[in-house]
Amino acid sequence: MLTSRYSKPDVTELSISAWFYRNRTLAGFDNPARSLYVSIRELVENSLDACEGAGNLPDINVKLVSQNTSNERTGITSAPEIFQLSVQDNGSGIHQENITNLIGKMLTGTKFTYKQSRGTFGLGGSLALLYGQVTTQRPIEIVTGLRGEDYFTSILMRLDIERNEPEIVEESRIPKRQNDCGTTVTFYLQGDWLRSKRRIQEYFAQTSMIVPYSSIWFQTPDDKLIEYDRVIDTLPAQAKEVKPHPHGIDVELLKSMVSVTRTLSVASFLTSSFQRIGASTAKAFLTFAKVDADQKPRDLSNEALLDMMRAFSEYNRFSAPSAKALSPAEESVIHAGMMRLQPEFVTTTKRTPSVYEGHPFIIEAGVAYGGHLKNGINLYRFANRIPLLYDEGSDVSTRVIRNLNLKAYGLRPDNPLAFLVHICSTRVPYKTVGKEYIADVDAVRREVDLGLKDCLRRLSEQVRRRNRVQKNTKRESRLRGYYKFISETLGEATQRKIVLTNLFPAGDDE
Amino acid sequence: MLTSRYSKPDVTELSISAWFYRNRTLAGFDNPARSLYVSIRELVENSLDACEGAGNLPDINVKLVSQNTSNERTGITSAPEIFQLSVQDNGSGIHQENITNLIGKMLTGTKFTYKQSRGTFGLGGSLALLYGQVTTQRPIEIVTGLRGEDYFTSILMRLDIERNEPEIVEESRIPKRQNDCGTTVTFYLQGDWLRSKRRIQEYFAQTSMIVPYSSIWFQTPDDKLIEYDRVIDTLPAQAKEVKPHPHGIDVELLKSMVSVTRTLSVASFLTSSFQRIGASTAKAFLTFAKVDADQKPRDLSNEALLDMMRAFSEYNRFSAPSAKALSPAEESVIHAGMMRLQPEFVTTTKRTPSVYEGHPFIIEAGVAYGGHLKNGINLYRFANRIPLLYDEGSDVSTRVIRNLNLKAYGLRPDNPLAFLVHICSTRVPYKTVGKEYIADVDAVRREVDLGLKDCLRRLSEQVRRRNRVQKNTKRESRLRGYYKFISETLGEATQRKIVLTNLFPAGDDE
Amino acid sequence: MAIDSSVHSTPDVLDLINQVLFKLADTVEEGEFPEIGYYNSSRKNISYSSDQGYRPIDDTPSYIDGRKVESAKTIAGLVYGLSRFKEHLEQGMSMSLRDFYYMNKVRHVQEVLRISNQNETNRIINLSERILRIAGQSIPREEFGVVSSPKGTFFGDLTLSDQSGKKLNCTNAGEYGWFISSRPFEVKIHDINIDAAVFVEKEAMARNLIELGLPEELRIGIGSLFGQPGRNMRAWIRRLADQEVPIFVLVDLSPWSLRIFSTIKSNSIELSNIQGLATPEAHLAGMTSTDFWNKRGMLHEIEHSLELMTKSDIKCAQQNRNIPAIGQDEILNKENEALLKKKRKGELEAFKSFGLPLVELKAKYKSYLTSKAAIHDVKII
Amino acid sequence: MAIDSSVHSTPDVLDLINQVLFKLADTVEEGEFPEIGYYNSSRKNISYSSDQGYRPIDDTPSYIDGRKVESAKTIAGLVYGLSRFKEHLEQGMSMSLRDFYYMNKVRHVQEVLRISNQNETNRIINLSERILRIAGQSIPREEFGVVSSPKGTFFGDLTLSDQSGKKLNCTNAGEYGWFISSRPFEVKIHDINIDAAVFVEKEAMARNLIELGLPEELRIGIGSLFGQPGRNMRAWIRRLADQEVPIFVLVDLSPWSLRIFSTIKSNSIELSNIQGLATPEAHLAGMTSTDFWNKRGMLHEIEHSLELMTKSDIKCAQQNRNIPAIGQDEILNKENEALLKKKRKGELEAFKSFGLPLVELKAKYKSYLTSKAAIHDVKII
C-alpha cells in the first residue's frame, strides 16, 4: 500500500516498467491463470499483426511446455508452475538494430495517425515478457530474420525494470535459407494451466474463426497438439494510416499536434494535419470559428485552442471520417471462418462504413445453421479481429439477438444456430476497462441489427427451401396412410369394400 | 488506436503523465460523470489523510460550482459542463518547497515499508488535477500553510504533461493566524453532475459514517449545502510504518531491497530489512534455506534470490505479520458512525488481527436495528476507511450475510437492519481491478462471519429483552380473555354459572 | 303434468351415424376428397339473449378439407370415432372421454393416428356433436354414448326411471336422494309432487336442508350441485323446467358462483350447439349482494362473515364483464359490479355465523327461501 | 348373515361430551388451569402391521397446558366446538368442516378467537376426535355430526337404511345404485345377496361393468370410488368386510393408485386413531405389473397402451417406499418397485385398447375379475 500524498515527501519517480510491474493487475496479470492466458494472447496477436503486416499468410506455432518437476522438498507439484512459452511466426522479422527496443522497452506510439489494429493498451507482449522475467528470473530469447538475409539473429536478453532498458546477455547468428523470415520469442513464466486451459483453448478456437487464412498450431503442456489449418488463401486488404478526423480528437491531442507542426498558418496546419479538411473547408471552418487563417499555429493560446476544439465539435459540415483506416475481414473470410464450425448453411454480410464519435467503423456479420452446431444460440464476437470471450451477456450483439424475432424467419431459439459479429474501427466502443464487450451504442446497434437480419433473411430462405422439399414427400405419404385407414374403417362399419383407386390413381404403392 | 509492435520502429518513450493521460480510463476517468465522482473522491481522501496524519479532527469543505452559462451559439446548455472544484482541509499543510512536487508530479512510493492508507493506485489527486487541466486548460490553485507560520502560500500552477513537471504560473502569500493550517486545492474540470449526483451524495453519506470524527460540508452545484457535523471527538490511533514480512513480498521486491541495502551479510540484511526476523530466526531460516549467512547480499545471483524467495514461502516458523501498520477505526467510531443512521440499537465489534498472504488485516463490524432504518438488510462496506459503493452483490460480506441464519437471532430479513463491515489491511484483498469489492477469501470470510455473528448475538439480546416486556403484558391480557370466553361457553353448555375468581384471584379487572 | 321422453331416439342417432359413414364411403370411392362443413362456437355463430341463453345461429361454417394432411387425419379420427359410437349404441353401452382416448390406442389405430394427448380425441368428440345434427340441432354426445363422470344428487317427491330401467322415487333412494343419471335426456319422469326445486351449490347446505325436513314441509326438491355443475346436472335442471317446475339456484356470493348460476341459466358459448343444457327460467335465489349490504337485507346481520376477495377472485369478476350471459344480464351484472366494488365475498356456510339455535336456523332458512321464491311470484309452503 | 349397527350410539357420544364439559367447568372453578392430554398421530404412537393396518398404540401423550396463552386459545376453541357438536347431536343435524369454520365467525366468538384460517378450526375437530374416546378408541367426527362431502356409489343386491331412515335395495336406487351415506357407521344393513364387492377407482369402468350386467351375472356389488376414496367410502368398505363380504379393489397401475388401495386396506397414519376406516382384508384386484409385464399376463397384449410416468409420478413412487403400508407390504412394495423400474403406468381404460367387440370385452372383464378373485380363493359366478 502506498502512503498518503501530502505527508510524505521522500518519494521519487518510477520508470514506466517499474510502475507497471507494481500495478500489473491493471493489464490483466492478476493471477497465474489469467497471466498465462493474457501472455499467450498478447504474443499471438503480435505475431498475427507481424504476418499480416508483411502480407504473409500467417503460420503461427505456439508451444507451452511445463518446466515443473515435482517439488523436491515436499514431493508435491505445487501450483503455480513454471512454463516455457514459445511463439513463432512467419512475419517480416525485425531489423537487427530494432530488436531490443521493440521487444524490451515499454513504448507507445506518438505519430498523429490512426489505423485499425489489434492492440489494446499499446503494451503488446512486452508486459508479458516483463511478467515472465519477474516470476522466473530467466532471460528472454528472440530469434528473428528478414527475407533475403541468410541468417537469423538470436538474442538472449533481460529487461532492466528500474531503468526501462533492455540488456543483451548473448547474441549470435543462425544460418537460414534466403526465403525464410519471421520471429520466434521464447521465454519462461509462472502460470496455472489447469485453471486457464479452457479459456486458452477457447481463445485459439475463436481466433481460428476470424483468421481462417492462418494456420495455428498449439502444443499444450498436456502434450496435445491443437491444429487449425488454413482454410482460405486470401489475406484481407491492409488498413491504411489516416490523419485524425476533426471530430475524433480532444484538446490535449490538438495541443500536441500544434506543438510539433512545421506549418506557418492555421489554415495549412488544418489541411496538413487532418483528413477531410481541404483548403475550402479550412477556410469555411475558420470563418465559422472566427479564427484568423494566417495566424501561426504556435501562437495559439490555450484559450484559443479550447475555442477551436469547441468549434470542431459544433461544425457539422466535415465529411464523415474515411474508412481507409479500416481492414474488415471480408465476407469470404467470415464465411470460411464460420465453416470451421461445420454447419449446414452459412450466410454472411458486410455493412457499409458508419461513424461513431469521429471514428469510422464497419460491422460484418454471419449466421450459420445446422450441421455440427449445438442446439441453441451460439454467439461469436470479434473486434478488430480479436475474439471477445467474456461478458457476452452485456454485449450489444447479445441484446440485438435477444430482440430478434426468430419466428419471422421460420427459426426457433433451440435450433442449431451460430451468430458471428465482427466490428472493426479505429476506436472500438468498448464499454469497460476490461475491453471484453461492445457498448450498446445506437449507431452500432443499428448496424449489428441490420447485418444479422440480412443474414437471417437469406439463411431462412435456404432452410425453408430444404424443409419444403422434405415436407412435401412426407405429407404425401401421410395422406395416403390416412385414407388407407379411413377406407378400412369405413369398410368395416359399412360392411362394404372401399377402394381408393379413384382417389390415388397412380397409387400402386398403396 | 496504437499500431502493431514489430512493424513500427518510429515510436518513443512517453512520460508517466502522458501515458496516463492517454489511458485515463484505467483510473476511472472514462466519462464526465465518472470523472467528476472520482476527482471529488480522490481529493477528499487525500484531505482526510492529511488531517489524520497531522492528528487534527478533520474539517473538510468541498465546493462544486458550475461554470456554465448557456451556450452562446446554440442557446442550449450542453453537457458535459465545466465545474470549479475546491477542497479545503485542516491538515498540517505542505512545506513550501514540496508543494509543486507533491501536487503536480506523478509519483509513487519506493520505500520498502508498509502502512495502511486509503490510496488506491498511488495516483492520489494528481490524476484528477491532470484530468481537469486537460479538459479545461485552466491552471490549478493551491493555498497551504503550516501551523506556527503567519502566512498561507498560494500557488497557481500548470502541469507539463509531456515532461511530467509542474510549472508555477504565479506565487503569493496570504496572511493568516499562527494556529491556522491546512491546504485548499481549487481547479476546474469537465463533469456531468446530473449523472453523478447520486453516487457523489452516497459517497459523502457513507464516508461520514466511517469518519464520524470529521465534519464534512459539501456545497452542490444545485446550491444545496450537505452537512455532516462531527459526532465524536476522538481520532483513531495512527498506523505505524513497518518493514515487510517475509511472506508478503515477491522476487522483484527482494531484488530491489538487495540492490539498496548497505548490510554486508545476508544475515544482517534479513534482520534489518524484515519484520519478525531477529538474529536467531535469521540463523534458523538460513540453515533451512541452505544459504551462507555471511555471504554479501549484493553477491546473491538471480538464481539464489529465487531460491531464497521459495524458501521464504516454505518456511512456516516466522511469527505472523505485525498489526502495528494497521489503523482500525475502533468500536467507538464505528458505533458513532452507525448512529448517523438513527437506529434504535447498535452493536459493534472489533476482531483481533488475522493474516492473508503475508499481510495483516482486521475486521470491524457493526449491526444496527430499528429506528429510522429502512426495512430490509442494508449493508455498508468500508476498506481502509474508504466506502465501497459498487458490486455489493459480489462482496464477501454479502455472501456472509446471505448465509446468516437471522431466525436464530429472532430476526427476519425484512426487519430494519443495517450491517457495517470495515476491513483494514496493508493489502486489501480486492477481487477486481475496479477495487469495489472484497474477494471471498477464507480467512476474511471467517472474520466477517464471526464479527457479524458476535454483533447479532448482542443485538438479538437487546431486541429480545424489549420484545419480552411488551409481550408479557399482552399475553396476560389474552389469557384472561380466553378464560372469560371459556367460562361463558361452559356456562351455557352446562347451564351453570362458572366463576373465575379462583383462577385469577386479583382479577377484579375481569 | 306432461310426461316427456328423450329428445332423440337411439335408432334415429344410429341412422344418422350410418348416413354419415355411407356418404363418406361413397365420396372416397368416387375419387373425391371429402370436405366436411360444421359450425364452430366462435362468437359469430352464437347469439345471446336473456330469455334463451346462448343459441347457435349457424352463420359462418368451417370446413375440414380432406386434401390437407392434417384434415385427413381429423377425418380418419372422426370415421374411427363414429364407428366406435355406432358399436356402443348398438350394444347399449357408454364410454368416457378417457375410454375413447384409449380406444385410439388400439394398435392398428395408434400406428396411423399417433395420438399422444387426450385433447386430440376430445376434439373428435366435440366435432362429432357438431356434425351429427337432426333438424339443425346438434346431438349431445351423451346420446351417442359418450358420458362424463356424473355429479350431483336430487331429493324430493318425484318418480322417474333412469338407465337402470327401474322406477324410483327420489325420496326413497338414500339420504341424498337420487344420484343423477349420466344421461338425463333419456330419463323418464313418471310423477311430480313438488312445487319448486332448489339447487344448492354446496353439498353441506343441501344436506342440512334435507335433514331439517324442508323438502317435506315446503313441498320442494333439493338438488346438490357439488360445486360447478356437470352436463348431466344442467340437463336434469332443464328437464325439470320442461315439466314447469320452478327452478331456484342457491349459490355463494362470489364471481365464481355467478358463473355457476349463469351456466345453468344460459349454457356456455363452447356448448351453445348443445340444446337442453340451458334453463333461462332459473332464478338466482341468493346469496345476493343486497342480502348483505342493504340495511334490511336478510343477511345484513352477518355481513362481518364476508371475506376479502383474492386476486384471482377479482380477476374472475373482471372477466365476468366480458361474458355475455353475465355482463348482459341485468341482475348478474349488478351482482358482479357490486362484488368488484366491495371486493368481498360470502359463502353459504355464513348462515352458521348467525350463531342461532337450530330451531331458529331452520326458520331462518325457510323464511329466506320463501322470500326469495316470492320475489319471482312462486309460492312455496 | 349378521346384521350390525352403529359403533357408538348418539346418546353415548352426547354423554361423553357432557362429561368433558363438566370436568372443564369444575377445573376452572377450582382455580386450576386445565391440562388436556391426548395422543397425536406421530410415528411413536402408531404401529403398522399388514393384517391390521395402522393402529394407535398410545405410547407418548401430548398435553395442552392451559397456563400457556396459545393453549388457552386451543381450549377455548375446543370448548366452543364441543358445545356446538352437542347442540347438533341433540337436533340430529350435521355440519361440514367449513360450517364449523363459519360458526367461529359468530361475532362474539370471532372477537375472542380471531380465527382467520380454516386450518385452525379443522385442528379443533381433529383434536376433538382424539379427546373424545370410548374404551380407548377415538370417536370419528361423523359420530358427533361433522361430515365431509361424501363421494362414491354402490350398486348390488344389498338392502340397507341410511340417515333417510328408509329401507332400500342398492339395485333400485338408480343406475349407479346408492349414493353412499355421509355417516356409514350408522347405516343399518338388512340383507346381503352378493358374494363379493368390487370397488373401482374410476367411475367410467364401474358404469361399464354395471351396464354389462356383471353385478347380476357374477352376484357381486360394484362400488365406484370416483378417485381417491372419501372417509365415508372407506368406512362403508369396512362395514361390508365386517359382514364377511370379500372385498376387491380395482385401480390403475400407478403409484397414486397404490396409495388409494393402501388407504382402503390400512387407513392412514394421520387418521390411525379412527377405527373403522381400514379394511386389511381387501384384495388388490389389479391392474398389476404382472398383468402387463409377464408374458402370460392378462393385459400383456395391450402393454403398448402404457404411458411414461411423469416426474411427479416417479417422486410419488419414491415416497411410497417410506409409507409403511406400502413399503412394508409385500405385494404393494413389489408393485411399487416394478413401477420405479419400468417408469411406465397404466389406466383402467386400457381395456378399451384391446379393440375388442363389446361381447368379447365383457368376457374379458369377467375372466379378469374371476381370475383375480380365484387368486384369493374367492369364487365368483
DSSP assignment of D84-137 = HHHHHHHHT--B-HHHHHHHTTSHHHHHHH----HHHHHHHHHHHHHH-EETTE
pLDDT band with cut points at 50, 70 and 90 for residue D329: very high
Q: Which residues of B touch D30 (CB under 8 A)?
A: 502
Q: What local confidence, expressed as pLDDT, does residue A7 receive? A: 37
Same domain, B310 and B357: no
State yes or no: pLDDT of C5 exceeds 50: no
Of B475, B499, B505, the CB nearest to D69: B475
**Cβ distance of D79 and B486 shorter than 8 Å:** yes
**Residue B125 belongs to some domain of the structure:** yes
**How confident is the prediction for chain B on average, in pLDDT?**
85
Residues B11-21: what's their mean pLDDT? Answer: 59
Instruction: Mean pLDDT check: name the lowest of A24-38, B102-116, D53-67.
Output: B102-116
Query: Please, which pLDDT band fits residue A70 given cuts at 50, 70 and 90?
Result: very low
pLDDT for residue C4 is more than 60: no
Residue A393 lies in a domain: yes
pLDDT value at A435 more than 80: no
List of chain A residues whose C-beta atoms are within 8 Å of the C-beta of residue B91 = 6-7
Query: Which residues of C are less than 8 Å from D354 in CB distance?
Result: 106
Cell of C208: 342440512
- Nearest CB to A494; choose among C21, C73, C112: C21
* pLDDT at A18 > cutoff 80: no
| DSSP symbol at D219 | T
Reported as a single tens digit per residue, the pLDDT across A179-196 is 899 999 999 998 989 889
Q: Could you tell me if A299 and A338 lie in one domain?
A: no
Q: Give residue C66's identity as a one-letter amino acid code.
A: G
Q: How does A354-373 read in b/e, with b if 16+ C-beta sit within 10 Å?
A: bbbebbbbbbbbbbbbbeeb
Please check whether residues A350 and A278 belong to one and the same domain.
no
- Are residues B168 and B42 part of one domain? yes
Residue B10: the pLDDT is 42
* C-alpha cell recorded at residue A101: 527496443
Based on the number of CB atoms within 10 Å of its own CB, is D122 exposed (0-12), middle (13-18) or buried (19 or more)?
middle
- Residue A15: which pLDDT band, with cuts at 50, 70 and 90? low
For residue A315, give the chain B residue with the closest CA: B73
The stretch D218-231 carries a mean pLDDT of: 94
Q: Is the pLDDT of residue B27 over 70?
A: no
Domain contains A467: no
Does the residue B470 lie in any domain? no
Q: Which of D352, D335, D353 is nearest to D344 (CA)?
A: D335
- Confidence (pLDDT) at A201: 95
Please give the angle made by the CA atoms of D358, D360 and D366, to the nearest 5 degrees. Answer: 105
Pair B201, B273 in one domain: no
Retrieve residue C6's grid coordinates.
328423450
Is A67 inside a domain boundary?
A: yes
CATH of the domain at A77: 3.30.565.10
CATH of the domain at B443: 3.30.230.10
Tell me what pLDDT residue D308 has.
94
Same domain assignment for residues B166 and B195: yes
Task: Tell me the CATH number at A261.
Answer: 1.10.8.50
Q: What is the pLDDT of residues A322-343, one digit of tens each?
A: 888 899 999 999 999 999 999 9
Per-residue pLDDT tens over the stretch C184-228: 988 999 999 999 999 999 999 999 999 999 999 999 999 999 999
CA distance D183 to chain B (A): 25
Q: Give a yes or no: residue A429 inside a domain.
A: yes
pLDDT of residue B11: 43
Rounded average pLDDT over D274-285: 93
pLDDT of residue B80: 65
Structural contact between residues D192 and D246, judged by C-beta atoms closer than 8 angstroms? no
Ramachandran area for residue B362 (φ above 0: left; ψ -120 to 50: alpha; else beta): beta
Last residue of a domain, one of B274, B293, B314: B314
pLDDT digits (tens, 9 = 90+) for B392-424: 888 899 999 999 999 999 899 999 999 999 999
pLDDT band at A390 (very low <50, low <70, confident <90, very high): confident
Asked if residue B381 and residue B302 are part of one domain, the reply reads no
B364 located within any domain:
yes
Q: Within this chain, do residues A221 and A351 fall inside the same structural domain, yes or no?
A: no
> What is the C-alpha to C-alpha distance for residues A34 and A42, in angstroms, rounded to an integer?
12
Residues B377-390, mean pLDDT to the nearest whole number: 92
Closest CA to C336 of C318, C350, C353: C318
Domain count along chain A: 3
- The answer to whether residues B298 and B444 belong to one domain is no
Tell whether B376 and B441 lie within a shared domain. yes
- D69–chain B Cβ distance below 8 A for any pair: yes
Determine, yes or no, domain membership for B498: no
C47-104 confidence digits (pLDDT tens): 998 888 898 888 899 999 999 999 999 999 999 999 999 999 988 889 999 999 999 9
Q: Which backbone phi and psi does C367 adopt, to 5 degrees?
A: -70, -35
Which of the four pLDDT bands, split at 50, 70 and 90, describes residue A466?
A: confident
Q: Do C355 and D108 touch (CB under 8 A)?
A: yes
Is a pLDDT exceeding 90 seen at residue A101? no
Integer Cα distance of D81 and D75 in angstroms: 10
Quick check: D162 and C174 CB within 8 A? yes
Domain boundary among B273, B291, B314: B314
CA distance, residue A457 to nearest chain B CA (Å): 35
List A residues 220-249 in contact with B (Cβ-Cβ < 8 A): 241
Rg (CA), chain A: 30
Q: Are residues B166 and B276 in the same domain?
A: no
Do the beta carbons of residue A64 and residue A128 sit within 8 Å? no
- Partners of C243 in the beta sheet? none
DSSP string computed for C260-328: HHHHHHH--STTTTSTTS--TT-EEEE--HHHHHSTT-TTGGGGGG-EEPPHHHHHHHHHHTTSHHHHT
Q: Do C105 and D182 make contact, defined as CB atoms within 8 angstroms?
A: no
Chain A residues contacting C via beta carbons under 8 Å: 475, 478-479, 481-487, 489-494, 496, 498-500, 502-503, 505
Question: Where is the domain boundary, B267, B295, B314?
Answer: B314
Give the chain A residue nearest B124 (alpha carbons): A5
Minimal Cβ distance to D83: which of B487, B489, B503: B489
- DSSP code at position B5: T
Give dist(CA C246, CA C218) in Å, integer. 13
Give bridge partners of residue B85 from the DSSP assignment: B64, B187
Same domain, B193 and B266: no
Which one of A478, A486, A498 has the shortest CB-CB distance to C75?
A: A486
- Touching A: which chains, 3+ CB pairs < 8 A? B, C
Per-residue confidence at B6, pLDDT binned at 50, 70, 90?
A: very low
Confidence of residue A129 (pLDDT cuts 50, 70, 90): confident
Nearest-by-Cβ selection for A2 from B109, B125, B162: B109
Structural domains in chain C plus CATH codes: 10-147 (1.10.10.10), 153-375 (3.40.1360.10)
- A410/chain B closest Cα distance in angstroms: 40
pLDDT confidence bin for B25, thresholds 50/70/90: low
pLDDT category, A457, cuts 50, 70, 90?
very high
The whole domain housing B292 covers 246-314
The shortest CB-CB distance from B490 to any of D21, D32, D69 is to: D21
**Distance (Å) from the alpha carbon of B465 to chain D's nearest alpha carbon:** 19
Cell numbers standing for residue A172 = 549470435
> Rounded to whole angstroms, how far apart are CA atoms B393 and B437?
9
- Whether residues C175 and D168 touch (CB distance < 8 A) is answered with no
What percent of chain D has a predicted confidence (pLDDT) above 90?
Answer: 80
Whose cell is 366446538? That residue is D81
Verify whether the Cβ–Cβ distance B4 to A427 is below 8 Å: no
Which of B15-29, C366-380, D270-284 bottoms out in mean pLDDT, i.e. has the lowest?
B15-29
